């Protein structure tokens, strides 16, 4: 029997978990496949990002099919292995100020018990920004359930911190 996937790509990275939430205000629960699907990456990795996106496009072109209800499914799944860590160095207080939010939440994954170790989530009117931070420094940053209004926030982050924003499933790259 054929296997079909709803995403053309997933990250091979799974974050470490802990029993205690990092921040108490709320918990953002992600599916295991949502982890790093739309993320910010250090601009030094632009060539590697381009290569990964080319491989994902090949899955779109040669290994997918659209069903009658408008849903596209993928017969093959691309596992991103070349990107590694996002290699960000953003002060968390600057990120919070730019996004105009004060509440900090934790991250849970629906397929694993506990909370993402060093995980944080920020809730804005346009969606959730989440990632990993250590000692007040954001090391990785992703976006989840963003509305179209998040485009402005995403563009500001890309410009202010000289980052690349990649929406892996849609093969979209935004540069400063």
Residue 90 has a pLDDT of 98
Which residue stretches of the chain have pLDDT < 70? 1-8, 146
pTM: 0.89
Q: Residue 59 has what pLDDT?
A: 81
C-beta separation of 132 from 125 below 8 A: no
């Amino acid at each position: 029997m054929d296997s079909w996937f709803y995403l053309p790509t997933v990250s091979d990275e799974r974050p470490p978990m802990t029993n205690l939430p990092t921040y108490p205000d709320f918990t953002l629960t992600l599916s295991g496949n949502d982890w790093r699907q739309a993320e910010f990456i250090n601009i030094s990795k632009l060539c590697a990002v381009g290569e990964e996106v080319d491989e994902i496009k090949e899955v779109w072109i040669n290994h997918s099919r659209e069903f009658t209800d408008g849903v596209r499914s993928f017969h093959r799944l691309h596992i991103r292995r070349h990107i590694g860590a996002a290699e960000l160095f953003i002060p968390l207080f600057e990120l919070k100020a730019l996004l105009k939010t004060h509440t900090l939440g934790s991250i849970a994954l629906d397929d694993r018990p506990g909370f993402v170790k060093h995980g944080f989530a920020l809730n804005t009117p346009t969606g959730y920004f989440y990632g990993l931070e250590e000692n007040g420094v954001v090391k990785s940053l992703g976006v989840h359930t963003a509305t179209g209004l998040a485009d402005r926030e995403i563009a500001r982050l890309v410009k202010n911190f000289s980052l690349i924003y990649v929406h892996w499933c849609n093969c979209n790259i935004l540069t400063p």
